Amino acid sequence: MVLGELGGSVVRALQKMSNSTIIDENVLNECLKEITRALLQADVQFKLVRDLQMNIKNIVNLDHLAPGHNKRNIIQQAIFNELCKMLDTGEPSFMPKKGKTSVVMFVGLQGSGKTTTCTKYALYHQKKGWKPALVCADTFRAGAFDQLKQNATKAKIPFYGSYVESDPVQIAVEGVDRFKKENRDLIIVDTSGRHKQEAALFEEMRQVSEATNPDLAIFVMDGSIGQAAYDQAQAFKQSVAIGAVILTKMDGHAKGGGALSAVAATKSPLTFIGTGEHMHEFEVFNVQSFVKRLIG
Ligand code: GDP
């Protein structure tokens, strides 16, 4: 993740401010301008940056600070808190319970890392004592079932799919029913991706969701897509009741802004991040440590 550059810029802006003997409105404005530039370069959506800037200005009222207060610390803390607030929806994500069947549906564009993430998610829970199972309801991409089958076999997780059935809704329903009967407590449904946010994809997702009635729909997004993140996340949110977001490829060129955009657009918490192609390269997302890395 290329968070270092942003961290450096924010730290530089704060340092510049601390070198000034007096911290007045002008110095604060100059500092906020530099931070704004750094956030935009990190692919944070323009509107979010503007909101952040306004909030910090409202919180940091220089005139009312008693003498002796470390203004630099107060400003730094305000930036930290505001970024945390943007990433924390205040609503915890749905948590599957061991021993009680939960259905979790994965949605996202093709290539986002959805199929890989389904297995990572299953494996993560399997290690913690759940009994996961994987259903491949992606009948659109040739090879999708083979990929899921391969991953699932490697991770020793039961799977369901079909080489002949072309109706994703039917496969999803059959798979979910079978694993419910087998008392699997975490049934993960991988859906079709497609390249674009096309109407057919959204309609299919809607139908699979209606037929399987998932407890949670997770939106998987490539963390390195930059400014496109907000619109993509919002388009998915409008079609399916997204309850959580997972960002992938955070080991690559992702700059962090995608995380803020995805949370803002879906109003759902970011629960995990993918940090590599390997099945174990998967981390629980922690708001505070992410922001610490973001701003240094
Ligand atoms: P899908 O089309 O959305 O199901 O995407 P896939 O699961 O097939 O993943 C697309 C590509 O992204 C594959 O080459 C994966 O190995 C890769 N990938 C998935 N997650 C990550 C990740 O967190 N980091 C990296 N570096 N690559 C990933």
Per-residue confidence (pLDDT) for residue 285, from 0 to 100: 94
Dist. CA 113 → ligand 1 center (Å) = 3
Closest residue by Cα to atom 6, ligand 1, is: 113
pLDDT of residue 252: 79
Contact status, residue 224 vs residue 253, Cβ threshold 8 Å = yes
The 3-class SS string of the chain reads CCCHHHHHHHHHHHHHHHHCCCCCHHHHHHHHHHHHHHHHHCCCCHHHHHHHHHHHHHHCCHHHCCCCCCHHHHHHHHHHHHHHHHHCCCCCCCCCCCCCCEEEEEECCCCCCHHHHHHHHHHHHHHCCCCEEEEEECCCCCCHHHHHHHHHHHHCCCEECCCCCCCHHHHHHHHHHHHHHCCCCEEEEEECCCCCCCHHHHHHHHHHHHHHCCCEEEEEEECCCHHHHHHHHHHHHHHCCEEEEEEECCCCCCCCHHHHHHHHHHCCCEEEEECCCCCCCEEECCHHHHHHHHHC
Q: Using the atom order of ligand 1, give the atom closest to the CA of residue 111.
A: 2
pLDDT on residue 267: 92
pLDDT at 214: 98
pTM of the model: 0.91
Mean pLDDT by 10 residues, the chain (296 residues): 57 71 80 84 86 87 70 81 88 90 96 96 97 96 92 97 94 98 97 84 94 97 89 92 94 81 92 96 92 74
Residue nearest to atom 27 of ligand 1 (CA): 277
The dihedral built from the CA positions of residue 183, 97, 131 and 153, taken in this order, carries a sign that is: positive
List pLDDT tens digits, range 86-132.
898 888 889 999 999 999 999 999 999 999 999 999 999 999 999 99
Please indicate whether residue 116, judged by its CB atom, sits closer than 6 Å to ligand 1: yes
Give the Cα separation of 123 and 30 in Å (integer). Answer: 48
Residue minimizing CA distance to atom 14 of ligand 1: 277
Which protein residue has the closest C-alpha to ligand 1 atom 13? 113
The number of the ligand 1 atom at minimal distance from the alpha carbon of 220 is: 3
pLDDT for 183: 96
**Are 115 and 144 contacting, i.e. CB atoms less than 8 angstroms apart?**
yes
Nearest-10 Cα torsion for 22, 46, 223, 266: 110
The pair of structure tokens assigned to 110 is 């093709």
Single-letter amino acid, residue 141: R
Asked whether the beta carbons of 224 and 258 are under 8 A apart, the reply is yes
Q: Do residues 208 and 189 lie in contact, with contact meaning Cβ atoms separated by under 8 Å?
A: yes
Phi, psi of 283 (to 5 degrees): -125, 145
> ipTM of the assembly?
0.99
Q: What does DSSP say about strands 186-191 and 132-137: parallel, antiparallel, or unpaired?
A: parallel
- pLDDT at position 29 is 86
Q: Best of 189, 277, 278, 284 to mutate for ligand 1, by most ligand atoms within 8 A of CB? A: 277
In the numeric block, which tokens belong to residue 159? 């799977």
CA-to-CA distance for 68 and 18, rounded, in angstroms?
Answer: 14
The Cα 186–Cα 101 span in angstroms is 6
Does ligand 1 have an atom closer than 6 angstroms to the CB of 277? yes
pLDDT value, residue 125: 97
> What interhelical angle do 257-266 and 46-59 show, nearest 10?
90
Distance (Å) from CA 115 to ligand 1 centroid: 7
